[in-house]
Amino acid sequence: MKLPGRRQFHSWTSLTRICEIGLSLLLALTFGSPAAAESGPDQDTPTAGFSEEETSYWAFQPVTRPAVPQPADSAQVHNPIDSFILERLHEKGIGLAPAATRREFIRRATFDLWGLPPNPADIESFVNDASPAAHENLIDRLLDSPRYGERWGRYWLDVVRFSETAGFNADPLRPLAYKYRDYVIRSFNDDTPYDRFVQEQLAGDELFPADEDALIATGFNRLWPDESNASNIELARQSMLNDMTATVGAVFLGLSMGCAECHDHKFDPIRQKDFYRLQAFFAPMIPVESAEIGEQESLDAFRGQLAEWEREIDPLRKELWEIELAARKQVTRIKRKKFPNVVLEAIDTPPWQRTAHQHQLAFWSERQIEFKEKQILKKLDEAQQARRTDLKTQIATFKENKPKPPLQLASMVTADGFPVPPTSLLAGGSYNKPIEAVTPGYPAILQPDCVESPAPIDAPRPGTSGRRTTLAKWITQPDNPLTARVMVNRIWQGHFGRGIVANANDFGTQTQPPSHPQLLDWLATEFVKSGWSVKDMHRLIMTSASYRQSSRDVAAESVERDPQNQWYSRFPRRRLDAEAIRDSLLAVSGELNLKMYGPGVKPQLPPNFSAREGWKPSKVPAERNRRSVYILAKRNMPYPLMQVFDFPDTHESCARRQETTIAPQALALLNSELVLGLAEKFTAKLFQSQAEFDIEQLIRQAYREALGRDPNAAEVAVSSEFIETQSELIARRRGGGQPSRFPQDLPAVVDPAWAGALVDFCHALLNCNEFIYLD
Amino acid sequence: MPNYRPQTIHYEAAGSRREFLARAGGGFGALALQQLLLQDGAVAADKPAGSPLSAKVGQYLAAAKNCIFLFMDGGPSHIDTFDPKPKVNEFAGKPLPDSVERVITPMGVSNNPLLISPRKWTRYGESGIPVSDWYPHVGECIDDIAVIRSCWANGLNHVGSVCQMNTGSILAGRPSLGAWVTYGLGSENENLPSFVVLLDNEKEPPGGSRVWGTGFMPATYQGTRFRNGKSPILHLASPATIGKQQQRSKLDFLDRLNRRHLDERGADSQLEARIASYELAFRMQSHAPEAVDLGQETAETQELYGLNDDHTKAFGKNCLLARRLVERGVRFIQLYSGSGSKWDAHSKIEQNHTKYCGSTDRPIAGLLKDLKRRGLLESTLVIWGGEFGRTAMSEKGDGRDHNPYGFTMWMAGGGVQGGQIIGATDDFGLHAVEDRAHVHDLHATILELMGLDHTELIYEHQGRPERATVNEGEVIGDVFG
C-alpha cells in the first residue's frame, strides 16, 4: 500500500482468498449483487459508476430522526436511549438489568468522566444523597471538573495520534506540541461545540485569526511522523500528505481513506482519485512554528505595514542574501550533494520569494544543511565581510521599526503558501508517478447524485487559500451523513467500551453494521440539535437506565439470550486503561499531582531501561506524579508502565484501545519499584488517618480508599490473617539480616515487620482485579 | 431503505469469550488457556494441548519451527563479504561508467570514485561459493547457506530501512515479522516469550523497541528484549527487599482476593485470565533465569561460540543464548550485531568491518555448527543480513554509503537448500538485476519456510485485511530444498 512501484494484490483470485470472502462477493463486486442480477440489469444501473448497493449503503444515507419506539414495558425507560435499547431486548424476551448500586455507580461514573477513583467522602455523600436528582447532580459535578477534560481529551489524542516527538531514528522533541494537547483538554472542559472544534483544528488559522486557541488547534495538521534527515524530500512531503489524508478520513469521517492511496478502495466505494482530491485540501500547507493573532482589520493593517517595510529593506536583504549564498553553498557543499536540483533551488531562493512548494521542500531539507556563522565568514573576502557587516547594521536599524502583529504566538501550527502546489493522482501511490492533476473535492459517493465535482473553494480572508476552511465547513455541515454519527459513536464507545459501530474509525463495509442503527441516528440528530455539545451527550447517555444497569445483577435468561452482551442487557465490565491504572495508583497512595498543562513530564523509568532515549526524569519529584495525560508522549518510547497496559502506538490513529491480559502486566504491578513505592506511600497515608494503628480500622480504611467500599467481616479476617503471616515472614528475614521495606518516618511504636506486612497488604489491593476492573 | 447488509464481515467486536481468549493467547505472557477453552467447548477435548492459535497453523508442513535472525545493524557491505565484484577494483578511483543508472544515496555519492575492495576471496565447501576473508568461519558452513545476492529495499536511511526489514514498511506502525510469526504460530513454551530480541550492546537499533513491536496488533505478540544478567525480562525478579516466601504468600493472598471477587460475579473470562496471568508471571521467575544461564554449557561449546575471546564474546553469548532459547521452544529470536547502526561504515570501512565481521564470524559459524550437530539446524531457520548493503562508490575516501538497491542476505537451515547462490547484482553491486528479491519477497519466503502462507496470514485492522507482506511479495522458490 505504501510502497512505490510494487504490485498490489496478486490478482482478484488471491485477493478473495486472502480475505476469506466467498465467491458471492467476487460476483457481487464484478456484476452487482446476485439479487440485483436476478431481477434484471436495469435495476442495477450504476449511479455515476457506483452500484446501487454502494449508493444505498447505510453510512452514506442522510441522518434522519427516527421515531422513538414505545416499548410495551416502559417502566425501565429513563430516556429515549432506553426505548431503543429495550426494543431490541424485548425482541429477545429480556430487559435491562436492575440498576447498579450507588456505590457502583459513582465509581463507574467517576472513572468514566475523570479516569480516577472517587474518594471515600464523595462516595459516602452520594450514597446518602436523598435528592431525587442525586445521579444528575453527580454527573454535572463530574462534568464541571477539569479532571473531565484530562480524561476525554486523552481519547481524542489517541484518535489524532498525538505525540510530542517526530518519530523516526532521531525522534526529536517537538517542544511546542504540548500546546495542542492542552488545547484539546481545554476544549473538552469548555464543551467547545464539536463543529467548532473540528473547524479550529483543520482551519483555525483561516477562520478564527483572533482566537489564540484556534491557532494552536491547527497543530492537528502537524502531528504526522517526520523523518528529520530524509534524503528523498519529495517522498517525505508526499508521505506527510498521505498521512494527513488517511488521518482526516478516519478521524472526522470514519472512512478508511488510506486504503485508496494506491488503488481504488477494495471494499468501499472510495476511489483512488477521491484520496488525492481530499489530499488537495492540504496541498498549500506550510508548517510554521509561530502565528500572528489578531482581529482581521488589525491583521490586515499589520500585513500592509509589513509589506511596506519589507519593500524598504528589500534591496538590503537581497544583497545580503546574495553575498552569503555563495559562501553558504561552499560551506555546505558536501551536505548539499544528497539533494536533487529542485530542492537546492528551493533552499537557494530567498525565503520571502519562495513558493508554497519551495517552502515545503525547504522545511525538510534546510534543517539538514545547517552551518555556523563562523564558517560563512571564512569564505568571504575582506570587502564582502565589510559590506556584510554594513548591511546587517542597516537592517538592524530598520528592524526597530518593524511592524508588530497584535499578538505573536509560538506554537506548532500551519499556514498556507502560494501559489498552491498542484496535486496529482499518483500511479500506485508513487510520489514520482503523477497521472493526472486533481482539484480539491469530497469523496464522490458523498456528493449529490454521487457525481464527482470540485469543491467550491471560498477563501475566508486574504492570505488564505480557503481550502482547509472549505473542507472543515463541509465536514461540519449538519447534514453531513458521517460527522455526527462518527462522533456520537466515539462518545458511546467511551462509556460502554464498544461503539454502536464496532470500528469507530471505519464506518465502511469492513465493519459490522451498527448494532442499533436507529439509536445511532437518534443520537446524531440530538447531538446536532444540542449545538454539537459533547457534554450534553454524556448527560444523555449517563442518565439512561441502560447506562445505570448493574454489571453483576444479571438474570440467567439475559446471559443465555445475550451471551456477548451485544444488546446491552447489562453493563459491560471493563478493565481500566493505562492512564486510569497509573492515575489510580497515584491517587490512592496520595501522591497524585493535579497540576495541569505544560510540556510533557518524565516520570522515572525502570532501571537500565533504555540507554538510547536519554530520558532524564523530571527534576522536581512531584512533576513525576502528574496525571498520565501529561507524560511526555515520545513516539519511539511510550512510557513503559503505560505501554504494557496497551497504550497505543502513536504513528496512526487509534480508534479504540486494545485490552490484553498478559503476564508482563502482572510483573510490572508486582515487581516494579515504582508500584511498590506507591504501596508504601499508601501505607503511610493509612497510618496518618488511623493514629490508633488498629489493624481492623487500617484494613477498613484501605478498602475504602482503594476499592471504594467497606470490607465484610470475612474479608477483614482474611486480611488480618495475611498481615500476621506476612509480618512473621518479614520478621524472620529481618532477623536473618535481610532487607525489608516499610514506610519512611515510621512512628516509633510501629514494628517495621508489621508495617512491611501492611505494605504487602496494600500492594495486593493495588494488584487485585477489583482495583483494575470496573463493574 | 438504507443498505445495512455488510458485504463481508471482517471485523467482529471482541465480545465472545473465545475471541477474548484467542486475543490473550499465543504470545508473551500468553496464558494456559487450553483449560478455559475446553470449558468453553471451543476445543475438542481429545485435541492435544497447545496454543489457542495452533488452529491457524498447518497451511504447510514446515521444516522450520524456529527462526534466528542475525541482524547486522547499520548495513554490512555485501561487495566485501558475499558478493565479489572484480569490476569495482578495475574502476577503483574512477566514477561508475555512464551505462550504470544513477541512484539517490543519503550522502550523495552517486558520482564519487569507486573505492577499492582489498578483500581476498576463497571458494568454500563443495559448492565452491566465494566468501571474503572477513567471514572465513562462516565460509566453512557455506554448503548449508543459500546466499541471496539480489535483495533490494525502499528505504535510504537507517530508521526506515531497519523498520522495513522488520515490518515490511519504511513507515512505522506495522507489526514486526517476529510478531506475525508469533501471531501465526503461537508459542511452544508458555513460560518464556515466544519472540525474543538480543542486543550486543546497550544501544537499541534505530526506531527503538518499536522495531520488535506489534504496531496495530495486540501487545501479546510483541518481541521481548532480554537484558543482560539473571533477570532477562523487565520486572521479572522481585526487588531484593522482598523474600521469595513473602512473595509467594502475597500472591496467594492476592489469589484469594481475586477468587472471591470472581465468585461474586460469576463466570468472566477476563477476570479468570488475569488471575492466571499472575501464576504465569510467577512461573516465569524460575524459567527465564534458567534459560539464560550459560554456565550450564561446556567449555568446548562456549569456545565454539567465541566466548573465550573479548572480540567475539558479546555476540557469541547471544548466539549461544539463541540456541538455548530454540531448545526451549522460543519461536523467533532476533540478534542485533552492532546495535545502534554500528555497521554504518561511511568512513574507515576497513577498520569498521574488520571489527564487526570479526566479532560475528566465529559466533555465527559456531551457532550453525552447534545447531547442526544437535540436529536442530533442520528445524531452525537462520537468517543473516542488515537493512541494506553498501555502495561501491567511495565516501570520504575510505567508506561506503548506503545501498538499498542491491544487497545480500543469506539463509540457512530450516528447509533451506544450502550451497547455492540466488540472484545477482550488476557488475558494481549497485542494482539487483537477476531474480530480484524485495524485502516483501524475503518475508514471504521466511513465513513460508515456517509453514505460513503470507497471503493467508491475515490480521483484520481498521477494516483492512492486513498481511505481513503488505499485500505484496512472492516466495523465492529457489530457497527451498
pLDDT 10s digits, B42-86: 333 333 333 333 333 446 677 899 999 999 999 999 999 999 999
A739 and A690 together in one domain: yes
Task: Identify whether residues A67 and A34 lie together within a single domain.
Answer: no
Q: Which of residues 641-660 of A touch B (CB under 8 A)?
A: 643-644, 646, 649, 651-652, 655, 658-660
* Residue in B7, B16, B265 nearest the CB of A552: B265
Collect all residues of chain B within an 8 Å Cβ-Cβ radius of residue A1: 470-471
Average pLDDT over every residue of A4-31 = 33
Mutate to test the interface with B, among A332, A515, A660 (most CBs of B within 10 A): A660
A730 with B246: Cβ contact below 8 A: yes
The predicted pLDDT at position B395 comes to: 92
Tell me which of B1, B7, B18, B458 to substitute to probe the interface with A (most A C-beta atoms closer than 10 Å). B7
* Beta carbon pairs, A and B, within 8 Å: 329
> Strand (E) positions, B386-423?
389-395, 399-403, 407-412, 420-422
pLDDT recorded at residue B269: 83
- Three cell numbers, residue A662: 498478559
Inspect the interface and report whether the beta carbons of B258 and A498 lie closer than 8 Å. Answer: no
Q: Based on the fold, state whether residues A349 and A385 are members of the same structural domain.
A: no
Task: Check if B8 contacts A (Cβ < 8 Å).
Answer: yes
Mean pLDDT lowest among A79-88, A124-133, A506-515: A506-515
What is the per-residue pLDDT for A337? 87
Instruction: Give pLDDT, residue A10.
Output: 30
Cβ pair A725:B204 closer than 8 A = no
| Torsion sign across C-alpha atoms A490, A492, A497, A503 | negative
The predicted pLDDT at position A630 comes to: 98
Contact B67, B333 (CB under 8 A): yes
Please give the share of chain A, as a percent, with pLDDT higher than 90: 82
Residue B344: which residues within 8 A CB-CB, separation 6 or more? Answer: B74, B75, B158, B352
In whole numbers, what is the pLDDT of chain A averaged over residues? 91
Q: Do B208 and A637 touch (CB under 8 A)?
A: yes
Residue A31 belongs to some domain of the structure = yes
Q: Which residues pair with A288 in a beta bridge?
A: A413
**The C-alpha cell of B322 is what?**
539463541
Same domain, A242 and A322: no
Of A236-240, A372-376, B34-38, B414-418, give the lowest mean pLDDT range: B34-38
Q: Please determine, for residue A729, whether its predicted confidence score (pLDDT) is greater than 90.
A: yes
Instruction: Give the least confident one: A434-443, A625-634, B273-282, B329-338.
Output: B273-282
Poorest-pLDDT segment among A91-95, A744-748, B238-242 = A744-748
Window A:273-292, CB contacts with B under 8 Å: none
3-state secondary structure of A648: coil
Which of these ranges, A700-714, B269-283, B446-460, has the smallest mean pLDDT? Answer: B269-283
- The residue that leads in pLDDT, B33 or B421, is B421
A664/A666 Cα distance (integer angstroms): 5
Could you tell me the residue ranges of all domains in chain B?
66-226+292-479
For the stretch B241-251, pLDDT in tens is 999 999 999 99
* Upstream peptide bond of A640 is cis (omega within 30 degrees of 0): no
pTM of the model: 0.86
Q: Could you report the per-residue pLDDT of B120-148, keeping only the tens digit for each?
A: 999 999 999 999 999 999 999 999 999 99
Domain with A30, as residue range(s), is: 1-45
pLDDT of B138 reads 98
Q: In the prediction, which pLDDT does B39 show? A: 36
Q: What pLDDT digit, counting tens, does each position of A118-156 carry?
A: 999 999 999 999 999 999 999 999 999 999 999 999 999
What gap in Å lies between CA A616 and CA A613, rounded to an integer? 9
Helix (H) or strand (E) holding A412: strand A407-416
Nearest to A662 among B14, B213, B220 (CB): B220
Average pLDDT value for residue range A199-217: 97
pLDDT higher than threshold 80 for residue B23:
no
Q: Among A44-53, A661-670, B319-328, B442-451, name the one with the lowest average pLDDT.
A: A44-53
d(CA A324, CA A385) in angstroms, rounded, equals: 10
Q: Among A42-56, A310-324, A333-347, A756-770, which range has the highest average pLDDT?
A: A756-770
- Chain B touched by A668 (CB under 8 Å): yes
Does residue A693 surpass a pLDDT of 60? Answer: yes
In this structure, are residues A194 and A534 in contact, taking their beta carbons and an 8 Å threshold?
Answer: yes
Across residues A627-649, what is the average pLDDT?
Answer: 94
Same domain, A223 and A356: yes
> Chain A contact for B45, CB < 8 A?
no
pLDDT of residue B259: 96
Q: How confident is the model at residue A611 (pLDDT cuts 50, 70, 90)?
A: low
pLDDT of the residue at A613: 63
DSSP assignment of A120-133: HHHHHHHHT---TT
Q: Which residue has the cell 499578538?
A: A407
Indicate if the pLDDT at residue A45 is higher than 60: no
Alpha carbon B210 to chain centroid distance?
A: 13
Residue A677 maps to a domain: yes
> Residue A661: its pLDDT value, please?
85
Length of chain A (residues): 775
Q: What ipTM describes this predicted complex?
A: 0.90
Min distance A170 CA to chain B CA atoms (Å): 8
* CB-based contact A339 B108, cutoff 8 Å: yes
Name the one residue in this structure whose C-alpha cell is 547499520. B74
pLDDT-based confidence at residue A112 (cuts at 50, 70, 90): very high
| pLDDT tens sequence across B152-173 | 999 988 988 999 999 999 888 8
Helix (H) or strand (E) holding B151: strand B145-152
Domain assignment of residue A239, yes or no: yes
Structural domain count of chain A:
5
Answer yes or no: is A284 within a domain.
yes
Chain B residues 146-205 within an 8 A CB cutoff of chain A? 154, 156-160, 169-173, 202-204
pLDDT band, very low/low/confident/very high, at A95 (cuts 50, 70, 90): very high
Q: A147 to chain B nearest CA, in Å?
A: 28
Residue B177: pLDDT above 70? yes
Per-residue pLDDT for B104 more than 90?
A: no
Could you report the per-residue pLDDT of A290-306, keeping only the tens digit for each?
999 999 899 999 999 99
Please check whether residues A552 and A449 belong to one and the same domain: no
Q: Are residues A695 and A718 in the same domain?
A: yes
| pLDDT, average across residues A14-26 | 34
pLDDT at A692: 85
**In the listed set A572, A597, A631, which residue is the last one of a domain according to the structure?**
A572
Number of H-type helices and E-type strands within chain B: 12, 17
SS (H, E, C) A562-611: CCCCCCCCCCCCEECCHHHHHHHHHHHCCCCECCCCCCCECCCCCCCCCC
Closest residue, chain A, to B30 (C-alpha): A662
Is A57 an interface residue toward B (CB < 8 Å)?
Answer: yes
DSSP secondary structure string, A500-551? SSS-TT--STTBPPPSSHHHHHHHHHHHHHTTS-HHHHHHHHHTSHHHHB-S
Share of chain A above pLDDT 70, in %: 93
Report whether pLDDT(B119) > 70: yes
Q: Measured between CB atoms, does B412 come within 8 Å of chain A?
A: no
Domain assignment of residue A105, yes or no:
no
Supply the pLDDT for residue B50.
37
Q: Report whether pLDDT(B19) > 80.
A: no
The answer as to whether A630 is a domain residue is no
| A631 occurs within a structural domain | no
From the options 3.40.50, 1.20.1280, 3.40.190, 3.40.720, give the CATH code of B66-226+292-479. 3.40.720
Q: Provide the pLDDT confidence category of residue B4 given band limits of 50, 70 and 90.
A: low
Whether the ω angle into residue B84 lies within 30 degrees of 0, i.e. cis, is no
Q: CA-CA-CA-CA torsion for B161, B165, B167, B172, nearest 10 degrees?
A: -10
Indicate whether A447 and A338 sit together in one domain.
yes
Checking if the pLDDT of A614 tops 80, the result is no
Using the predicted structure, report yes or no on whether residue A67 has a pLDDT greater than 80.
yes
End position of a domain, from candidates A572, A596, A630: A572
Mean residue pLDDT across chain B: 87
A245 interfaces chain B, CB cutoff of 8 Å: no
A72 in a domain, yes or no?
yes
B9 — pLDDT class (breaks 50, 70, 90): very low
The per-residue pLDDT for B2 is: 54
Looking at per-residue pLDDT, the higher value among B332 and A15 belongs to B332
Instruction: Report the residue from B15, B235, B462 with minimal CB separation from A565.
Output: B15
Picking from A389, A423, A455, the residue at the C-terminal end of a domain is: A455
Q: What interhelical angle do A296-331 and A382-399 show, nearest 10? A: 170
Measured distance CA(B12)–CA(A510) in Å, rounded: 10
In terms of domains, do A709 and A756 share one? yes
A437 three-class SS: strand
- Whether A54 and A75 map to the same domain: the answer is yes
Taking residues B87-104, what's their average pLDDT? 94
Contact B108 A514 (CB under 8 A): no
Q: What angle do CA B234, B239, B243 make, to 5 degrees?
A: 130
Instruction: Say which of B215, B233, B462 has its CB closest to residue A506.
Output: B462
The pLDDT value recorded for residue A35 is 36
* Segment B434-459 mean pLDDT: 95
Query: Around Cβ A43, how many Cβ atoms within 10 Å?
Result: 12
Contacts of B249 in chain A (CB under 8 A): 722, 725-726, 729, 760
Quick one: A241 and A361 in the same domain? yes
A402–chain B Cβ distance below 8 A for any pair: no
Mean per-residue pLDDT for A446-453? 93
Q: Are residues A345 and A260 in the same domain?
A: yes
Cβ pair A441, A455 in contact under 8 A: yes
Give pLDDT tens digits for A171-202: 999 999 999 999 999 999 999 999 999 999 99
What cell numbers appear for A491 in the block?
462518545
Which range (A369-383, A604-618, A676-690) has the least confidence? A604-618
How far apart are alpha carbons A31 and A566 in whole angstroms? 34
A723 versus A4: which is more confidently predicted?
A723
